[in-house]
């Protein structure tokens, strides 16, 4: 009968109750490990915060380390201050600041310590240490602060700051607590888990007076703090600093990669800032001033700025067209039949077209590529051709994030047929004549400097690349490197197709689009210039771009340089690239006049004011770092419509 | 029989109710209430309140039990409002709950959907409505509405839990709010719905279903804790044991085959759990599940809570450290000390004796509810009574179990003890609706 199940249910209730009581009896009476001797002893939890890992460059030069600092804690109930005014003078705060901090502390708890002043330097602490004896209720706690002796690479390193409320609430496994420090950007954020190490916990027995009576249960429940691992980066600090010095008074990016390993040697973003600014007590003030700076120094341009690649993209066009079979190196195209203007004599073969960056030539190459599929309807043929083009160009890492070890990499844009279907509101409503700007790297293409540097490395390797990365190892070189940073990514383009392109690139430097002064003797630089349209959109000058590698045979370094508003790609950007390559290959700079010239040149978007910024930016009063100027222009490079037609390039 | 005038002729004549203009007469306030249950309830509330006070008490700043800025003061306010609620429930005609059961249920589903859209995020779960300083969690009230809806559905004559169709409907009623609560990331509150199985068992659910449920849960935990090989060996050993213990005449080929299929099914299930947890889930999701069964993998998070809770309770010994004398539950040694870990305060300050009193109190309360439920004349009241007993039992077992390391850490409150308005309200409503229904039962007998 179902009524009898009542007894089963009550029986289960009572049985489980008995089990619980038995367990309680065991815990509370039998098992005396939980009894703490004297009845009022208690177990105190002591948290050990490990040292954050240091960061080194490829030559084992220290880039980031921890400086000990002191945080001052206050317990409001114990505070006895005779003369508040002199106390405030000692602490270098105003009485109103004192009141607000104490108010907050009291609000939190009058018996528990809360933070009074953060990050007192050793010198400051020494000054107040003796005086502190007279003021009860204040307790210094040692802590540490990031310091950047190399004073460079600010954007890629990121910074460390107190965890924000959102981050605190959104963590998956609760690890961080209020007031913990956490990597907020760049490598500090990407490798946060390895750098921070692991907090340890010790259980100490204390008597009622707070005196330690040894560890509880022989430390069985303790966990040891594991200090953070040292991060060895692939950066060459000397080269990085040199690139910084070349980029002074310019806006843009310099990237250098070792082609054979994918290791990033230089990742300069200009203008840059002193990374120490964001680690001291004045964090919020510095951060605000950096945020207001019209040149946006907080943008890590190598991976976050998307430019149109301009003529540098012709290299990919030449490679994919050869692989497809629609182009042979000996084909010659003239200027006739192309809507694009050009500045060369015309009638080049592939080498000559790369050397002189012939626009009509690549117009014809891309046209043939798009219609090389036997489809008679030009609309349908364009859709098939563009898909093929997209899939081949994607293998160079263009369509998506490359996967560099930085948290903020931008995706860029490599247009797909779907993209144009959307822009033109329907399938087969666009064809080659609508999208031919792509042939010379204009139109809807958006590519980060990092990807162009990677393109240079790919060509230097004649067919493959390793995903660019900053990680050279944890603790020692080569340790804990994920497999994606060692494996070869093939482009699917045969070795032989690279050779005429590389010939053209060398010729471009020797006697082509590149200014002769960039042809520094002894480094065998190969390169391709690019001039991304910018003047067309209301500015006076275009963006100057150069990608290349050196030496021609067995390349050691691949470089990509962007200089905004510097015009002609064969000058500003090519100069910087050749100087960086020379310094790396020779270990010194011999082209001194060029060096001097580049350092002296300034390409801030200066006196001209077109177009007027949409809303005027309040000029920062304390922008000690960089002079004031109108809003940066890098965000304006996106074409206004899908139909923009390109007519420049070199 | 609290002092309400009862018509003299009531006991002697069975009058057909014709001139029944005032329903209150047939449904007097607080008449025939089961005072034993009320007494047990008051004991729980009183002990809970005092322990909430002790949990947040600190010797340095001595606050009053009635200080409105502390949890105990606020809890007093909640107790006051609960008293008003109880009076309302006792005044309302008993048919109200029967008639509007599905309306409540629908309204509650609406609230659960609404909270997903318009709710406030507290501790990572979007399940609270915030009105000024007061936060209400609809999931707490979902239990009451679901219990009423189940009772109403099963009250229909001819419903039989042996029939697959009826069983499916019942499952639907339970699972619908479960999904919504799970969507707001309240795993603990969702698990509570498993407690309805106690009621369903009483109402004729085939016995193998709860058995299979318990076995599945057990195997799930084993699959997380032990290597697959050991579990497989264990299953084989178990089956062999069953075969050996089987009476000889039962060892027919079909029976042995059925056992074999059962064993293979269990192994497939274990493999599936293993695959799901280790291959499908992301690392952080995996850890969140594993930490439920093995707190030591996260010694700074959940594991820390369990260790501290055990230290606090264990240090209480036989008599405890005395009221307000606890050291471990003060400050922040034990987290959530006035809500989910309130039992630690009891264990530490009142020792084994205190724990014993609380456990016995709860068992007495739950058993009393079961006994009352069994006496009901209507199926509606009986089903509802079993739901109440089941829900309270489940909460008590999980909550106390997690503080003494017998259960995984699931954040659900200890009924009537934990600090918090939503849970106090919902448990009181749950209980007193049943007491109201029960008071009618005696009225019916007398007539």
Binned at pLDDT 50, 70 and 90, residue A561 comes out as: very high
pLDDT band at A78 (very low <50, low <70, confident <90, very high): confident
Q: Cβ of A29 under 8 Å from any chain B Cβ?
A: yes
**In Å, what is the CA distance from A266 to each residue of A389, A501, A578, B250?**
31, 25, 14, 80
Q: In the structure, what pLDDT confidence band is assigned to residue A256 with cuts at 50, 70 and 90?
A: very high
Give residue-wise pLDDT tens across range A146-197: 889 888 999 999 988 888 878 877 776 667 776 778 898 899 999 998 998 8
Tokens 């907090």, located at residue: A199
Strands A55-56 and A231-233: parallel
Average pLDDT over residues A240-250: 92
CA distances from A525 to A265, A314, A553 (A): 17, 18, 10
How close A68 comes to chain B (CA, Å)? 25
Q: Is A167 on the interface with B (CB under 8 A)?
A: no
Question: Contact A173/B287, CB-based, under 8 Å?
Answer: yes
3-state helix, strand, coil in chain A (%, to 5): 40, 20, 45
* Contact between chains at A17 and B360 (C-beta distance less than 8 A): yes
The phi, psi pair for A68, rounded to 5°, reads -70, 135
> Residue A21 and residue B400: Cβ atoms within 8 Å?
no
Q: Which of A88-97, A279-288, B40-49, B214-223 has the highest mean pLDDT?
A: B40-49
Residue A40 touches chain B, beta carbons under 8 Å: yes
A323-332, pLDDT tens digit by residue? 999 999 999 9
Tokens read off for A438? 């792509």
Is residue A33 less than 8 Å (CB to CB) from chain B?
A: yes
Helices A495-511 and A449-460: crossing angle in degrees, nearest 10, is 110
Better pLDDT: B161 or A259: A259
Please tell me the distance in Å from A13's CA to the nearest CA on chain B: 7
Q: Which residue has the higher pLDDT, B283 or A139?
A: A139
Give A420-461 pLDDT, tens digit per residue. Answer: 999 999 888 998 999 999 999 888 899 999 999 999 999 999
Report the mean per-residue pLDDT for chain A.
83
Q: Which helix (H) or strand (E) holds B305?
A: helix B302-314
Distance CA A107, CA B164 (A): 60
Count of residues making up chain B: 447
CATH topology of domain A237-637: Beta-lactamase (3.40.710)
* Cβ contact B352–A9 (<8 Å): no
Which ranges of B315-420 does DSSP label H, i.e. alpha helix? 342-375, 379-403
Question: Is residue A265 predicted with pLDDT exceeding 80?
Answer: yes
**Is the confidence at residue A315, as pLDDT, over 90?**
yes
Query: Is A201's Cβ below 8 Å from some Cβ in B?
Result: yes
Residue A643 pLDDT > 60: no
Q: Hey, CA dihedral for A288, A289, A295, A298, is it positive or negative?
A: negative
Q: Does residue A273 contact residue A625 with C-beta atoms inside 8 Å?
A: yes
Test mutation, B317, B335, B345, chain A, max A CBs within 10 A? B317
Residues ≥6 apart with Cβ < 8 Å to B319: B350, B351, B352, B353
Taking the CA of residue B361 and the nearest CA in chain A, the distance in Å comes to: 10
Per-residue pLDDT of chain B (447 residues; tens, 9 = 90+): 444 554 444 454 555 555 544 444 455 666 788 899 999 999 999 999 988 888 877 655 666 777 777 778 888 899 999 999 999 998 888 889 989 999 999 999 999 999 888 877 766 667 778 777 677 888 888 999 999 999 999 998 888 888 888 889 999 999 999 999 888 877 788 889 999 999 998 888 888 888 888 888 888 888 877 788 888 898 899 888 888 888 878 778 888 888 889 889 988 988 888 888 777 776 666 766 676 666 666 655 656 677 778 878 888 888 887 787 776 665 455 666 778 888 988 988 899 999 999 999 999 999 999 999 999 888 999 999 999 999 999 999 999 998 887 887 777 899 999 988 888 999 999 999 999 999 887 665 544
Q: Does A16 touch chain B (CB under 8 A)?
A: yes
Sketch the domain layout of chain A as residue ranges. 237-637
* Among candidate residues B90, B103, B105, the one with its CA nearest the CA of residue B138: B105
What's the pLDDT at B392?
95
Minimal Cβ distance to A221: which of B307, B314, B404: B307
Q: Residue A491 — pLDDT band, cuts 50, 70, 90?
A: very high
Is B366 close to A13, i.e. CB distance below 8 A?
yes
How many CA atoms lie less than 13 Å away from B430 in the CB half-sphere? Answer: 29
pLDDT at residue number A558: 96
* Domain boundaries of chain B, sorted by first residue: 32-206+294-446
pLDDT given for residue B430 in this prediction: 94
Q: How far is A476 from chain B (nearest CA, A)?
A: 27
Alpha-carbon span A571 to A332, nearest angstrom:
28
The string of pLDDT tens digits covering residues A26-45 is 888 887 766 554 344 566 66
Query: In 3-state terms, what secondary structure has residue A562?
Result: strand
Residue predicted with more confidence, A345 or A350:
A350
- Walk across the sheet containing B125-131 and list its strands: B120-122, B125-131, B134-136
Pairwise CA distance, residues A209 & A110, whole Å: 19
* Residues 6+ away with beta carbon under 8 Å from B389: A9, B198, B199, B366, B369, B370, B373
How far is the alpha carbon of B204 from chain A, nearest alpha carbon, in Å? Answer: 6
CA distance A74 to chain B (A): 16
Q: How many CB pairs under 8 A join A and B?
A: 125
Averaged over A254-282, what is the pLDDT?
Answer: 90
Binary contact (A42, B328; C-beta < 8 A): yes
| ipTM of the complex in this document | 0.84
This prediction's pTM: 0.61
Q: Give the tens place of pLDDT for each residue, A511-531.
A: 989 988 899 998 999 999 998
Average pLDDT score over residue span A298-309: 90
Chain B CA closest to residue A203:
B308
Question: Which of the listed ranges A80-94, A264-278, A628-642 does the model predict with the highest average pLDDT?
Answer: A264-278
CB distance from A199 to chain B under 8 Å?
yes
Mean pLDDT, residues A582-601 taken together: 91
Give the helix, strand, coil percentages of chain B, each rounded to 5.
70, 5, 30
Alpha-helix runs per DSSP H in B92-137 = 95-99, 101-118
The whole-angstrom separation of Cα B307 and Cα A326 is 72
């Amino acid at each position: 009968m179902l009524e009898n199940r009542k007894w089963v249910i009550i029986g289960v209730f009572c049985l489980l109750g008995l089990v619980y009581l038995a367990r309680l009896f065991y815990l509370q009476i039998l098992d005396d490990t939980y009894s703490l001797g004297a009845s009022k002893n208690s177990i105190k939890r002591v948290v050990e915060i490990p040292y954050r890992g240091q960061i080194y460059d490829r030559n084992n030069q220290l880039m980031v380390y921890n400086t000990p600092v002191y945080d001052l804690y206050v317990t409001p109930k114990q505070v006895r201050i005779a003369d508040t005014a002199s106390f405030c003078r000692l602490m270098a705060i105003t009485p109103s600041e004192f009141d607000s901090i104490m108010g907050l502390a009291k609000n939190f708890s009058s018996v528990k310590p809360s933070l009074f002043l953060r990050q007192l330097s050793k010198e400051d602490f020494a000054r107040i240490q003796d005086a502190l004896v007279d003021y009860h209720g204040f307790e210094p706690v040692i802590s540490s602060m990031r310091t950047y002796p190399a004073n460079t690479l600010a954007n890629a390193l990121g910074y460390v700051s107190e965890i924000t409320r959102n981050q605190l609430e959104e963590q998956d496994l609760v690890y961080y607590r209020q007031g913990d420090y956490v990597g907020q950007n760049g490598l500090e954020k990407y490798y946060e888990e390895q750098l921070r190490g692991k907090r340890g916990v010790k259980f100490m027995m204390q008597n009622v007076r707070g005196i330690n009576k040894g560890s509880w249960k022989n430390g069985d429940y303790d966990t040891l703090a594991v200090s953070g691992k040292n991060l060895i980066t692939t950066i060459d600090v000397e080269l990085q600093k040199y690139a910084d010095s070349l980029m002074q008074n310019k806006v843009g990016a310099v990237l250098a990669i070792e082609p054979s390993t994918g290791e990033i040697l230089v990742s300069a973003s200009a203008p840059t800032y002193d990374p120490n600014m964001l680690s001291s007590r004045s964090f919020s003030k510095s951060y605000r001033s950096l945020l207001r700076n019209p040149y946006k120094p907080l943008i890590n341009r190598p991976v976050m700025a998307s430019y149109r690649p301009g003529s540098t993209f012709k290299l990919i066009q030449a490679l994919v067209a050869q692989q497809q079979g629609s182009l042979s190196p000996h084909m010659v195209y003239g200027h006739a039949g192309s809507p694009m203007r050009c500045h060369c004599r015309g009638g080049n073969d592939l080498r000559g077209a790369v050397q002189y960056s012939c626009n009509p030539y690549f117009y014809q190459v891309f046209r043939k590529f798009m219609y090389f599929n036997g489809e008679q309807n030009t609309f349908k043929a364009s859709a098939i051709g563009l898909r093929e083009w997209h899939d081949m160009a994607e293998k160079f890492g263009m369509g998506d994030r490359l996967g560099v070890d930085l948290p903020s990499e931008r995706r860029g844009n490599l247009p797909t047929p779907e993209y144009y279907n959307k822009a033109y509101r329907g399938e087969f409503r666009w064809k080659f004549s609508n999208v031919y700007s792509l042939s010379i790297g204009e139109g809807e293409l958006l590519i980060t400097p990092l990807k162009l540097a990677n393109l240079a490395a790919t060509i230097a390797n004649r067919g493959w690349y390793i995903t660019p990365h900053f990680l050279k190892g944890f603790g020692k070189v080569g340790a804990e490197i994920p497999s994606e940073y060692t494996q070869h990514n093939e482009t699917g383009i045969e070795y032989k197709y690279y050779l005429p392109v590389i010939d053209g690139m060398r010729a471009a430097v020797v006697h082509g689009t590149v200014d002769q002064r960039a042809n520094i003797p002894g480094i065998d630089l190969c390169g391709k210039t690019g001039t991304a349209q910018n003047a067309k959109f209301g500015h006076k000058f275009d963006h100057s771009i150069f990608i290349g590698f050196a030496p021609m045979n067995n390349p050691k370094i691949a470089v990509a340089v962007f200089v905004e508003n510097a015009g002609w790609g064969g000058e500003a950007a090519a100069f910087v690239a050749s100087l960086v390559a020379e310094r790396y290959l020779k270990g010194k700079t011999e082209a001194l006049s060029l060096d001097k010239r580049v350092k002296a040149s300034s390409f801030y978007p200066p006196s001209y004011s077109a177009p007027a910024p949409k809303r005027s930016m309040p000029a920062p009063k304390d922008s000690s770092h960089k002079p004031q100027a109108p809003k940066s222009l890098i965000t304006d490079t996106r074409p206004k419509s899908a139909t923009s037609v390109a007519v420049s390039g070199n | 029989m609290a002092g309400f005038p009862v018509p003299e002729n009531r006991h002697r004549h069975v009058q057909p109710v014709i001139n029944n203009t005032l329903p209150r007469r047939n449904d007097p306030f607080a008449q025939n209430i089961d005072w034993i249950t009320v007494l047990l309830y008051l004991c729980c509330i009183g002990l809970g309140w005092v322990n909430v006070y002790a949990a947040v008490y600190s010797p340095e700043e001595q606050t009053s039990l009635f200080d409105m800025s502390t949890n105990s003061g606020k809890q007093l306010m909640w107790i006051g409002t609960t008293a008003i609620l109880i009076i309302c429930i006792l005044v309302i005609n008993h048919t109200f709950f029967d008639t509007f059961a599905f309306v409540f249920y629908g309204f509650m589903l609406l609230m659960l959907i609404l909270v997903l859209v318009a709710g406030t995020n507290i501790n990572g779960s979007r399940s609270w409505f915030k009105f000024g300083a007061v936060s209400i969690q609809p999931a707490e009230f979902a239990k009451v509405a679901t219990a009423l809806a189940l009772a109403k559905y099963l009250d229909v004559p001819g419903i039989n839990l042996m029939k697959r169709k009826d069983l499916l409907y019942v499952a639907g009623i339970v699972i619908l709010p479960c999904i919504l609560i799970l969507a707001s990331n309240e795993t603990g509150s969702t698990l509570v719905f498993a407690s309805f199985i106690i009621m369903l068992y009483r109402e004729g659910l085939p016995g193998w279903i709860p058995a299979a449920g318990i076995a599945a849960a057990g195997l799930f935990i084993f699959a997380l804790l032990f290597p697959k090989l050991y579990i497989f060996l264990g299953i084989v050993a178990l089956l062999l044991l069953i075969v050996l213990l089987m009476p000889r005449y039962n060892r027919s080929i079909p029976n042995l085959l059925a056992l074999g299929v059962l064993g293979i099914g269990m192994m497939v299930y274990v493999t599936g759990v293993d695959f799901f947890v280790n291959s499908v889930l992301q690392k952080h999701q995996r850890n969140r599940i594993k930490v439920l069964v093995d707190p030591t993998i996260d010694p700074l998070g959940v594991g820390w809570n369990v260790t501290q809770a055990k230290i606090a309770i264990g240090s209480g010994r036989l008599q405890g450290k005395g009221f307000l004398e606890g050291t471990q539950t003060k400050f922040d040694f034990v987290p959530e000390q006035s809500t989910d870990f309130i039992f630690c305060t009891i264990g530490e300050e009142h020792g084994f004796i205190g724990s014993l009193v609380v456990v016995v109190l709860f068992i007495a309360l739950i058993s009393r509810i079961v006994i009352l439920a069994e006496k009901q004349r209507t199926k509606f009241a009986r089903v509802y009574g079993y739901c109440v007993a089941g829900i309270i039992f489940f909460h008590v077992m999980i909550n106390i179990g997690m503080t003494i390391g017998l259960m995984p850490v699931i954040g659900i409150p200890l009924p009537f003890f934990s600090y918090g308005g939503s849970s106090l309200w919902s448990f009181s409503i749950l209980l007193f609706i049943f007491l109201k229904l029960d008071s009618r039962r005696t009225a019916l007998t007398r007539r």
